[in-house]
Amino acid sequence: MVELQIAARGIHNQRVLAAMLEIPRHLFIPPPYDRAAYEDNPLSIGSGQTISQPYMVAKMTELLALTPQSRVLEIGTGSGYQAAVLAELAADVVSVERFSHLAEAARQTLEALEYGNVTVVVGDGSLGWPERAPYDGIIVTAAAPALPPSLRSQLAPGGRLVCPVGSRDLQQLKVLVRGPEDRFAEHDSIRCMFVPLVGREGWSA
Ligand code: SAM
């Protein structure tokens, strides 16, 4: 998976590749889809939600440019797999999920794998998680109609927000960087297709 789907497509960050080699992705996916855990596509995790395609996890993680000291916020815990990748690369991870049963399942998987630096919480992640802000990296693994202002305000100076923005069917991955004196720079990365971010600063349903 890492060699053929990720490195071969231009992801060269050695820390990202090493993290994804390390993590047993099949443990994050309920049967019967766990048999396809290392294939090149998103998979169902129930409740109409998905675990993202491995390449998309790698691409978004690389765009965050994390260091071992980074404090990270993830919106959309889903299976917990992306949170595990973040936990390998950063000091501290908060992950927000709107469905409590998905949050609980992810929590159990992450605990079983002894990721002590991840906190999974239930809530409307379109509003971020202000209790632990600011963050050096914020990753949104669901599609927003526009960059949520709350997430922007919870970025630390130098911090990066990676978020799919667009229609419900097709999005562009946006990268927002908070520079000095509160100047923000934004650029587009690849096109993508995510399930909707449902919340106050996302889609209404
Ligand atoms: N990162 C996940 C993983 O590694 O499995 C995949 C995330 S899945 C593509 C998108 C997730 O975002 C779903 O679990 C969905 O319930 C969640 N979600 C959607 N809107 C949300 C919101 N406002 N707050 C928190 N989670 C939300």
Whether ligand 1 lies within 6 angstroms of the CB of 143 is answered as no
Q: Report percent pLDDT > 70 for the chain.
A: 100
| Residues in a beta bridge with 196 | 143
pLDDT tens sequence across 82-116: 999 999 999 999 999 999 999 999 999 999 999 99
pLDDT tens sequence across 182-199: 899 999 999 999 999 999
155 closest CA partner among 179, 174, 172: 179
* Measured distance CA(150)–CA(147) in Å, rounded: 9
* Catalytic (active site) residue 95: no
Give the number of the atom of ligand 1 that is nearest the alpha carbon of residue 79: 5
pLDDT tens sequence across 42-67: 999 998 999 999 999 999 999 999 99
Q: Which of 198, 200, 203 to mutate to test the pocket of ligand 1 (most atoms within 8 A of CB)?
A: 198
CATH superfamily to which 2-192 belongs: Vaccinia Virus protein VP39 (3.40.50.150)
